[in-house]
Chain A
Amino acid sequence: MPQYKFRVNGGPVTVDSWDPEQPLLYVLRNTLALHGAKFGCGLGQCGACTVLVDGKAVRSCVTPIKQLAGRSVTTLEGLGTPEKPSALQAAFIAEQAAQCGYCTNGMIMSASAVLTQTPHPTVEQVKQGLAGNLCRCGTHTRILSAVMRAAKV
């Protein structure tokens, strides 16, 4: 079975995949037991599956594993823990920026990429940066507050 070598959350991994087209999402969740990224649509439309590849936010549900060779993937697990959350995670917790929380992975990962590119964004810039991430519960204003809070840290 073909093997793929890349880095996840700082460490090297080697995974088997019978199908080079298998999306990264399934490899993360089922092979590597990293459950941060969520299946939302499988179409790259909702953002629940967002991870960082070489620092850029990508939709893991439509990213074939064959494209990952030699790349560096960061998942929600790689940002921090409940005990030691990243500044962005801490801001989401402080703002209680979740209702059901199923979109939260994508919000934090996409916002992380936004803040890397634009460390001190305006609210409008954050809105544009998260335009491809859907929240069904209507937690948008808190998510925006959380990102702006993290940008101040």
Chain B
Amino acid sequence: MAMEMTSLSRRGILKMAAGALVVRFALGQSSSDASKPLNPADVDSFIAVHADGSVTIYTSKVDVGTGLATAYRQTAAEELGIPVERFTVIEGDTALTPDHGGTGGSSGIPRGAADIRRAAATARQALLDLGAKQLNQPATQLTITGGDVIHSNGQRVTVASLVAGKRLGVKVNASAPLKNPSTYTIVGKPILRADVPGKCTAKHPWLQDHTLPGMLHGRVVRPPAVGAKLLSVDENSIRALPGVRVIRIESFLGVVAKDEWAAVRAAKEIKATWSDSQVLPGSKDLSHWVRQAPVDRDQALANRGDFNGALSSAAKQLTATYYWPFQSHASLSPSCAVADAKESGTTIWSAAQNPYGLRANLARVFGIPLDKMRVVYLDGSGSYGTNGADDAAADALLLSRAVGQPVRVQWMRQDEHGWDPKGPAQLHELRGGLDANGNISAWETQMWIPDGPQGSRALLGPESAGMSQTHGQGAGLMTLNLDPPYPVPNLRVVSHHLKDTPLRLSNLRAPGKIANIFAVESFADELAAAAGMDPVAFRLRGLTDPRAVEVLKRASGMMDWQTRPSPNPYAAEGNVLVGRGMAYVRYKQAENYVALGITVAVNKATGKIAVRRVVCAHDCGLVVNPDGLRNQVEGNILQTLSRTLHEEVTFDKARVTSVDWASYPLLSFPEVPAVQVALIDRPEQPSYGAGEASSAPVAAALANAIFDATGVRLRTVPFTAERVKAAFAKA
């Protein structure tokens, strides 16, 4: 077996202080001459044990601040019996990492870690076989502990010396014996993240900091209106700025300069004339547009019993309409990319969540063979789905190809807010009936949602440059959790997918489910109130799954839930009204169990909502890293409070108008409530992801709390002070 491990040192591994591993490679080297195995069927594609005893994990999935890399280190260390400190992770490099999927949909743990675990379990068997030969003992009598293969008679040998710079050369065995979770010593522990010290001391290797010799800074001048064509450019308008080159390809207008500030100023000051374009419906009254726009297809998601019959014979009937607006990923860093386009091969450094997907799309659109393009992931800011990262990569590539030098592009704030593909608006109409005993006898959910063709999303730069590409509008799994988690004998659930969307769509954290649960769990609360029942008791009455019952009981216990119907008869407290609300979700109808309670104070005069406290009981099966999990759950909660209280993408007929943090505000520190999370660990159960689930019940719990406090039901997000006051005025 050849000494392929040296292929890594050829690229020069720089060990960073934070324990992160950065692989540099010779400029212009294409991916085709990389000798690192990439086939996900091979153990060596995922795991390399080095001569110094360190271990590298290779994965196409990326850690966008979720702690995923730490969970992978723990998973592999546990199966291999090698100390977790020796592990580093290389993420999302199409020349080095196997393609086992992109990052998203909270799949990094349930699918990604499962792949790593199987590879590590197979590697353990291979190492035991090597140890058996070395120690002249049967493999069945050997174990791996602390990085050594050990026999009970005291014989031992290090795994590093067994591998000795060679590959293991074995296929991933789907039935390789896995360690019993009851024996775990690393999985389940709050192992610290390797990237945090570097991020706190300016030593972390960020994408935004990546520089190459001869690199230019680029900026793109986006049109003043969606669909506007570039008519003319006055290059004299920026003649005073040093070393700026203007790149125009049809309606694509970019500038590059050695000096970043010169590029920034050039993009801002260049005089260009654009055609008039007024193709958007405008965001004012968009809910009406969503309800009336042409529908491409209806999807029947559930249909049992006789909904119409049951509703007409119900003792009580309720209808309600809920609306969720377009929202932005609103990443703290505007999207960034570095591209180096050469004859010998093109390399893109990007923070995109799916490096292989990005490579495939760029290769197709730019007509570059796959083996002549390498995409390397570097950490950007949190992305929460597909933000502008793919588009920024295309911008950088267009500019690098045009000037024949490496180009770094970082969008400006208005580019990210204005042009990142958005999470779609959703409109829900619900109808329900209660029988004489207050049981739900009939339930109907209808959802209307902007949509479009399947396929890859069109990239902004290539679109302006007139390049041929697909125009997909995938936004993720938007239709899950549209049906109630409670037993309903007569149920109808339908989604209406519009032909078109005013703004480009993409997956935004927990796609669709936050709005769906907002509608479904608000409506369940409305039914509970109509039945005169306590909201938690109303929910518990319908739930039989013990894991569902446990999260609801834990969450209500954490907030000393008083059993009574809403609204709160004792809501008045000084000049505010206080109340509490609960929401429950079985995420994606098959994964995490989450119950989330909120206490709120509402100022009737100002309309201001103060969230005082959030409690969350969270069951995602096996917990890999409780601290990382807690961090994700807290983040889900606070980010979704932000989305619920403040966030709405606004646009006129021409363009997005919410293009900074004043017009698209986020939750601020003074608004941050106390957050208390209870993790329910079930080592015997499969581990679901946790990057999304606890965001799903937040908006409903808040709406329910506001109703409890005030008797007023908010059904349109965001819950701005103006909207609260308007709701009071109507009530």
Q: Is B195 an interface residue (CB 8 A)?
A: yes
Check B200 against A39 for contact (C-beta < 8 Å).
Answer: no
- State the CA gap A101–B264 with chains docked (Å): 25
Mark out the residues of chain B between 24 and 68 whose CB falls within 8 Å of any chain A CB in the assembled complex.
64-67
Nearest-Cβ distance from residue B487 to partner chain A, whole angstroms: 34
Contact partner, B670, options A29, A40, A82, A128, Cβ 8 Å: A128
Q: Is B607 an interface residue (CB 8 A)?
A: no
**9-residue interface stretch from B286-294, B311-319, B574-582, B631-639:** B631-639
- State the CA gap A34–B334 with chains docked (Å): 19
Please indicate the chain B residues that have their CB under 8 angstroms from the CB of A140 in the complex.
Answer: 638, 667, 669, 672
Nearest-Cβ distance from residue B611 to partner chain A, whole angstroms: 12
Which A residue sits closest to B636, measured CB to CB?
A: A138
Contact partner, B65, options A42, A46, A137, A142, Cβ 8 Å: A137
Check A104 against B670 for contact (C-beta < 8 Å).
Answer: no
> 1/0 contact trace for A14-42 toward B, CB 8 Å?
00001100110010011000111011111
Can you list 15 A-B contacts (CB < 8 A)? Answer: A26-B260, A26-B264, A30-B260, A38-B206, A40-B413, A77-B201, A82-B17, A82-B203, A92-B196, A99-B65, A100-B332, A100-B379, A136-B332, A140-B669, A144-B672
Q: Is A52 an interface residue (CB 8 A)?
A: no
Mark out the residues of chain B between 368 and 392 whose CB falls within 8 Å of any chain A CB in the assembled complex.
379-382, 384
Asked if A98 meets B202 with Cβ closer than 8 Å, knowing A42-B413, A83-B17, A137-B382, the reply is no
Please indicate the chain B residues that have their CB under 8 angstroms from the CB of A39 in the complex.
Answer: 208, 333-334, 410
Nearest-Cβ distance from residue B288 to partner chain A, whole angstroms: 30
Mark out the residues of chain B between 650 and 689 whose CB falls within 8 Å of any chain A CB in the assembled complex.
660-662, 666-670, 672, 674-675
Interface size class of A (residues with CB under 8 A): 35 or more
Q: Is A148 an interface residue (CB 8 A)?
A: no
- State the CA gap A13–B336 with chains docked (Å): 29
- State the CA gap A128–B668 with chains docked (Å): 9
- State the CA gap A142–B17 with chains docked (Å): 23
Interface size class of B (residues with CB under 8 A): 35 or more
Please indicate the chain A residues that have their CB under 8 angstroms from the CB of B557 in the complex.
Answer: none
The 8 closest A-B pairs by CB, nearest first: A138-B638, A100-B65, A36-B202, A101-B199, A102-B381, A100-B382, A138-B635, A99-B65
Mark out the residues of chain B between 164 and 208 whose CB falls within 8 Å of any chain A CB in the assembled complex.
192-193, 195-204, 206, 208
Q: Is A69 an interface residue (CB 8 A)?
A: no
Check B200 against A102 for contact (C-beta < 8 Å).
Answer: no
- State the CA gap A119–B380 with chains docked (Å): 33
Q: Is B470 an interface residue (CB 8 A)?
A: no
Q: Is B265 an interface residue (CB 8 A)?
A: yes
Asked if A133 meets B635 with Cβ closer than 8 Å, knowing A38-B208, A82-B18, A93-B197, the reply is no
Check B242 against A18 for contact (C-beta < 8 Å).
Answer: yes
Q: Is A58 an interface residue (CB 8 A)?
A: no
Asked if A85 meets B201 with Cβ closer than 8 Å, knowing A45-B662, A96-B627, A98-B196, the reply is yes
Question: Taking each of A34, A92, A139, A141, which has the highest tally of chain B beta carbons within 10 Å of its own beta carbon?
Answer: A141
Contact partner, A138, options B198, B259, B639, Cβ 8 Å: B639
Q: Is B97 an interface residue (CB 8 A)?
A: no
Check B412 against A42 for contact (C-beta < 8 Å).
Answer: yes
- State the CA gap A82–B204 with chains docked (Å): 10
Check A131 against B670 for contact (C-beta < 8 Å).
Answer: yes
Please indicate the chain A residues that have their CB under 8 angstroms from the CB of B366 in the complex.
Answer: none
Nearest-Cβ distance from residue A129 to partner chain B, whole angstroms: 8
Nearest-Cβ distance from residue B331 to partner chain A, whole angstroms: 6
Q: Is B704 an interface residue (CB 8 A)?
A: no
- State the CA gap A10–B331 with chains docked (Å): 33
Please indicate the chain A residues that have their CB under 8 angstroms from the CB of B399 in the complex.
Answer: none
Q: Is A134 an interface residue (CB 8 A)?
A: yes
- State the CA gap A19–B670 with chains docked (Å): 37
- State the CA gap A138–B671 with chains docked (Å): 12
Which A residue sits closest to B242, measured CB to CB?
A: A18
- State the CA gap A14–B197 with chains docked (Å): 30
Nearest-Cβ distance from residue B418 to partner chain A, whole angstroms: 13
